Amino acid sequence: MSTRGRRHALRSRIEEVLPVPFRLPRVRAAVAVAAASALALSGCSTERESPGTGLGAAADCGGSTAQSFRQQYAQTWRQAGDAIGLPGLTPAAGTQVCEIDTARFAKDRPKKGYRIAFAAQGPTNAWATTNEEAFRYRARQRGAKVLYASANGDVNKQVDNVQQLVAQRPDALVVVPMGDAITGQVRAAASQGIPVVVCSGRLGEGSGAVSTVTRDYELQGTLWAEWIARRIGGKGKIAMLSGIAGVPTAELPKKQAEKIFAQRYPGIQVVAKQNTDWSATKAKTVAAQLLARYPDLKAVWSDSAITDLGVYEAYSQAGKPVPPVTGDVTNAFLKAVQGKDVPFALSAFPPEQSAQCLDTALDVLAGKKVPSQVNVNSAVFTDKQITQYVRPECSDDLAVPSALPADLLKKLKLC
């Protein structure tokens, strides 16, 4: 039910205090990528050993390919904003996308296909199950062999997993990080010449990963904040509800949103910041208290549709109109509010992004140039488009819209 949330619950809090990876500290202004590229030369020359590039992998941040990668990255932001009427969004300050030369990883495809190690979360919730199935499905399509290991949501287990996977000498390693504690193991794998793709999450500095493929957390936070600001006309009281305190999936979008509210919308007053632990029950309790205390609350910024479900329950039960809410996507929320007057804007953190992680790994093995950072495209929509996305016949847990074929969804008991 909780989509990606739980996955990061065990993540080390260290990540909070470490500099967020892939950022150039010097590039401060909220500039567009194009502007950033002008600074790129000086920036990148000193950042050779920076997180995105890491050990050995040759990074080029100034070349034409790098520039096109950056444009692609900026494109994903623009598209996401356009989808809900927020034109001209640009990547967050400090986002750095470079070109990684993967020639030294290139190898011929063996007869039985490449062997790709997949250090996964393990089937602890629907999001993770789908994340794995999407990876396997894509691997079958592309004729790759998967060496799988489940961390069962535990970063310590994943440390062992990565070690064991590396011992099997895979052609590449895709890891869905459970926490920064695996950084050492990932670096060890990289130093043995195994290309590593970090998938659906981020790792701290010096992981040595070739590329990071994930939905941009800052984009999520930006979309939700900007939409709310526009919806309430830039002024009024709002509440911010995030998942689990200290978990990057909750903290990074929140930090980004706070920055936006503070810098761009002085008329917006954030009257409450609370955690819901991505539990609808807890969210309902929190929301019930909010509506009692702040009858004039204009909107609820939230990082999860699970939280929104609780907010919806609390307001509708109290007989009050539900304020505009934001979050990622769950079918449960869409099913609950379909046909009701609930304004919302959602942006998915799709489990199927693992397929894109695999593609990137295969690109590396083929010797193609890859970006150091890939922002995964996802569905961004508001209550106006609900009918396009809701799947009343499917499970509450289905991550809509799903890219997986119907028979696979049926097998997973999601539809």
Partner 1 sequence: MTTLTAGRAARFAPAGTLMPLSGLALVLVAAAVWTPGFYSEANLRLVLFQAGLIGVTAVGQTVVLLGRGIDLSVGAVMGLTTVIVATQTDGDGGKLPAAILLAVLAGIAIGAVNAGLVVLRGVPPFVATFAVFVLVQGAITAWTRGAAAGDIPHGLQTLGSGRVLGVPTPLWVFAGVAAVAAVVLARTGAGRRLYATGSNPRAARLSGIRTGRVIAAGYIASALLAVLAGLISAGYAGHVDAQLSRSLDLNSLAAAVIGGVALTGGKGHIGHTVLGVALLAVLIVWMLQLGAGTGGQLAVQGAAILLATWLRQRGPAAAGTR
List interacting residues with partner 1 (CB under 8 A).
1-2, 6, 123-129, 244-245, 272-275, 277-282, 284-286, 288-289, 291-293, 309-310, 313, 317-318, 332, 336, 395-397, 412-414
Cα–Cα distances (Å) from 363 to 103, 108, 147, 195, in that order, read 10, 12, 18, 11
Question: Which residues does 100 contact at the CB level (< 8 Å), separation at least 6?
Answer: 53, 57, 58, 59, 60, 210, 211, 364, 369, 370, 371, 372
Nearer to partner 1, 42 or 269 (CB): 269
Q: What is the residue-wise DSSP string for 127-189?
A: HHHHHHHHHHHHHHHHT-EEEEEE-TT-HHHHHHHHHHHHHT--SEEEE--S-GGGHHHHHHH
Give the Cα separation of 287 and 294 in Å (integer). Answer: 10
Min dist CB 248 to partner 1, Å, is: 16
Least Cβ distance, residue 333 to partner 1 (angstroms): 9
What is the Cα–Cα distance from 378 to 80, expressed in whole angstroms?
8
CA dist 383 and 339 (Å) reads: 10
Is the bond leading into 401 cis (omega within 30 degrees of zero)?
A: yes
Judged by beta carbon, residue 95 or residue 279, the one nearer partner 1 is 279
In whole angstroms, the minimum distance from the beta carbon of 332 to partner 1 comes to 6
Cα→Cα distances 206→46, 51, 56, 93, 191, Å: 15, 5, 11, 21, 11
Query: Minimum distance from CB of 278 to partner 1 (Å)?
Result: 6
**Residue 177: CB partners within 8 Å, gap ≥ 6?**
11, 155, 158, 198, 201, 202, 203
Nearer to partner 1, 92 or 309 (CB): 309
To the nearest whole angstrom, how small is the minimum distance from the Cβ of residue 316 to partner 1? Answer: 10
Least distance in angstroms from the C-beta of 57 to partner 1: 34
Whether 41 and 62 have beta carbons less than 8 Å apart is answered as yes
Closer CB to partner 1, residue 68 or residue 124?
A: 124
CB 139, min distance to partner 1, A? 20
Q: Quick one: 51 or 253, whose CB is closer to partner 1?
A: 253
Residue 2 or 185 having the CB closest to partner 1: 2
| Distance, CA of 32 to CA of 247 (rounded, Å) | 28
For partner 1, give the closer residue by CB, 50 or 395: 395
Minimum CB separation from partner 1 for residue 289, in Å?
Answer: 5
Is the Cβ of residue 102 or residue 395 nearer to partner 1 in the bound state? 395
Q: What angle do CA 213, 254, 282 make, to 5 degrees?
A: 105
Give SS3 for 191: helix
CB of 286 to partner 1, least distance (A): 6
Token code pair at residue 346: 């959602």
Distance CA 326, CA 308 (A): 7
State which residue, 198 or 250, has the beta carbon closest to partner 1.
Answer: 250
